[in-house]
Amino acid sequence: MLMKSTLAALLLFSMPLLAAPLQICYEDNEHSPALPKQMVQGVAAYGTHSQTATLAFALAGVAVELHRIPWKRCLHEASIGKMDGVIGIGWTAERQQLLAFPLNALQQADASLSLMQVDYHIYTHQQQPLSWDGNRLSGVKFGLSAPQGFVVEQKLKQLNALSTLPSGLNAGLELVLNRRLDGYVLAEFVADAQLKQHPKAALIKKLQPPFYQQPLFLVFSLQFAKQQPEVMQKVWLQIPNARSTIAQEQTRATDLLLNPAEQQPNPNCCR
């Protein structure tokens, strides 16, 4: 939830910059079905990454329409300009050739303008002998899986540990629970939301250390970057403000759950 006073101050001088809403995509619920929904300035956003991006657009005065579609399709449509941007993508050299990332003075992806930092962990059955020391996997019998098109899928492939079994989240977790898949690699915030409501969550353990760590970015199609570079920069520069505001509201929501008698919910949030 977004505090009325904070949001009002931030939005005071935000005027619409474009005639039509931008078309922005992010992963569909096949890979993150349990992410919490939050209305941010009239836009339904699922997960912290999309809530932060949506608020950054609002602060910059840019209207958007969000689309939850299969990840590979999302990346492809942004790469050809059918979508104006992508929420929640990790940097790779290949992706930088296809999409516009916020860059620092060294022409590297600027983590200070990322939506969030993400830890990817391996989730495995409590009785599975799988282990990860930060460099090597051991105890692999059936292989591991990850959401298709994600960077961690490529890392599993490099380790010769990628399974050919279905990689959707629900199917993957069921295979782990049935011990037909050694493990599933997932962003911690996605796994936390999913396992929180899973009846057999106690049978799944999270391996340490993280399998992979990366910042997630809001990126734009090269076509949009060429046509509207000022708008793109304005949105990126609002990300730190949006990130801070979302974090404050999440902390406040947690405090409210822990101490309901001490606080009253804010009726003016995120409308």
For residue range 82-92, what is the model confidence (pLDDT) as tens digits?
Answer: 999 999 999 99
Is the pLDDT assigned to residue 232 strictly greater than 80?
Answer: yes
Instruction: Specify the 3-state DSSP secondary structure of 121.
Output: strand
User: What is the structure's pLDDT at 1?
Assistant: 46
Instruction: Specify the 3-state DSSP secondary structure of 13.
Output: coil
Is the pLDDT assigned to residue 266 strictly greater than 50?
Answer: no
With bands split at pLDDT 50, 70 and 90, how would you rate the model's confidence at 114?
very high
pLDDT average, residue stretch 33-48: 87
With bands split at pLDDT 50, 70 and 90, how would you rate the model's confidence at 267?
very low
Q: Are 142 and 181 in contact (CB under 8 A)?
A: yes
Read off the tokens for 205: 């353990």
pTM of the model: 0.83
- Please provide the distance, in angstroms rounded to a whole number, between the alpha carbons at the two ends of the chain: 9
Domains along the chain with CATH numbers: 4-115+215-258 (3.40.190.10), 118-214 (3.40.190.10)
pLDDT average, residue stretch 134-147: 96
Q: What is the spatial distance between Cα 189 and Cα 119, in angstroms, rounded to a whole number?
A: 8
With bands split at pLDDT 50, 70 and 90, how would you rate the model's confidence at 169?
confident
pLDDT average, residue stretch 231-248: 97
| Mean of per-residue pLDDT scores for the chain | 89
Instruction: Specify the 3-state DSSP secondary structure of 112.
Output: helix
Q: What is the pLDDT of residues 10-21, one digit of tens each?
A: 544 455 567 799
Highest mean pLDDT among 28-32, 51-55, 170-174: 51-55
Q: Are 203 and 215 in contact (CB under 8 A)?
A: no
With bands split at pLDDT 50, 70 and 90, how would you rate the model's confidence at 96?
very high
Higher pLDDT, 256 or 249: 249
Runs of H (alpha helix) within 20-138:
48-59, 71-79, 93-96
DSSP letter assigned to residue 36: P
Q: What is the spatial distance between Cα 59 and Cα 5, in angstroms, rounded to a whole number?
A: 14
Q: Are 181 and 143 in contact (CB under 8 A)?
A: yes
Instruction: Specify the 3-state DSSP secondary structure of 132.
Output: strand
Is the pLDDT assigned to residue 137 strictly greater than 80?
Answer: yes
